């Protein structure tokens, strides 16, 4: 009943709306055109991918290796988006990413033998249909 009321309330406006569609952990923002006949047309935004590795140098000897279990978070402006965890070897990926520029935050908290936080921020630009490769080299927070 509420959905019918909402549809009836917008169907005669004939304007463009921003529709937030959630697909699992992915957020896809699409424009939505409501015609005078009540038909709704949704246009899927062009997308790309971000892939890479999270690497660290726990001995601080200049030799970086991939780290599993690190967290990678993607930000668009001030809005955090999906979070993923690195696999064996440090690999991570974000699929179906709308085109644009994103901040990526790599983070690993180590609790043993002593507590330490490893973190780094990178910037990645996503273009239509392309894969952006962005490795993140963690640094120990002092």
DSSP letter (8 states) at residue 2: H
Tokens 């409501």 belong to 34
Model confidence, pTM? 0.68
Over residues 88-133, the pLDDT tens digits come to 999 999 998 888 999 999 999 998 778 889 999 999 999 999 999 9
Q: pLDDT at position 64, please?
A: 96
Q: Choose which CATH entry (2.70.150.10, 3.30.565.10, 3.90.550.10, 2.60.40.10) describes domain 47-140.
A: 2.60.40.10
Specify the domain boundaries for CATH 2.60.40.10 within the chain.
47-140
**Mean pLDDT value of segment 17-37:** 46
| Rounded CA separation 15/29 (Å) | 16
- Which structure tokens are listed for 76? 């668009």
């Amino acid at each position: 009943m509420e959905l019918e009321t909402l549809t009836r309330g917008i169907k005669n406006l004939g304007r463009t709306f921003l529709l937030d569609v959630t697909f699992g952990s992915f957020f896809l923002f699409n424009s939505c055109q409501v015609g005078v006949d009540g038909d709704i047309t949704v246009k899927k935004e062009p997308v790309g991918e971000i892939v890479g590795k999270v690497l660290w140098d726990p001995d601080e000897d200049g030799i970086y290796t991939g780290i599993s279990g690190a967290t990678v978070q993607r930000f668009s402006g001030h809005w955090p988006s999906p979070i993923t965890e690195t696999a064996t070897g440090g690999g991570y990926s974000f699929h179906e990413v709308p085109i644009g520029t994103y901040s990526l935050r790599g983070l690993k908290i180590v609790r043993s033998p002593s507590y330490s936080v490893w973190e780094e921020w990178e910037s990645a630009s996503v273009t239509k249909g392309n894969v952006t490769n962005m490795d993140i080299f963690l640094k120990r927070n002092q």
